[in-house]
């Protein structure tokens, strides 16, 4: 069984697509930060991003201009 479960991650966003995009954007941020600071990561960036999403450290930011439109932007607490 996968952890975190997909059903758990879907509670954070309205769709699986949004979760995938959020995880990909956060993983890129983690990888770029690690490369910039020459840090060795304990896990792969995608795994770290998914764990952060499940823990609630990363959220989806809704645009103010159009509440019906979902813009996926990784916003993490560091």
pLDDT tens column, 47-77:
999 999 989 898 887 666 665 655 556 666 5
For tokens 């697509």, the residue is 17
Domain count, the chain: 1
| Residue numbers of the domain that contains 63 | 6-76
CA torsion through residues 24, 26, 31, 32, sign: positive
- Which pLDDT does position 3 carry in this prediction? 80
**Model confidence, pTM:** 0.75
Half-sphere exposure of 7 (CA within 13 A, CB side): 1
- 1 in a structural domain: no
- Which pLDDT does position 25 carry in this prediction? 93
CA nearest neighbour of 24 among 1, 44, 2, 4: 44
Confidence of residue 14 (pLDDT cuts 50, 70, 90): confident
Query: Does residue 40 carry a pLDDT above 90?
Result: yes
| DSSP type of residue 71 | -
- 51 in a structural domain: yes
- Which pLDDT does position 78 carry in this prediction? 47
Angle at 62 between CA 49 and CA 35, to 5 degrees: 30
**Cβ atoms of 23 and 46 closer than 8 Å:** yes
**Percent of the chain, pLDDT > 90?**
38
């Amino acid at each position: 069984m996968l952890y975190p479960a997909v059903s758990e991650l879907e509670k954070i966003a309205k769709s699986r697509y949004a979760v995938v995009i959020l995880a990909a954007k956060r993983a890129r941020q983690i990888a770029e930060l690690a490369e910039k600071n020459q840090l060795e990561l304990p896990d792969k960036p995608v795994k770290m991003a998914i764990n952060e999403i499940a823990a609630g450290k990363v959220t989806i930011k809704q645009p103010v201009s159009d509440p019906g439109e979902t813009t996926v932007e990784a916003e993490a607490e560091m």
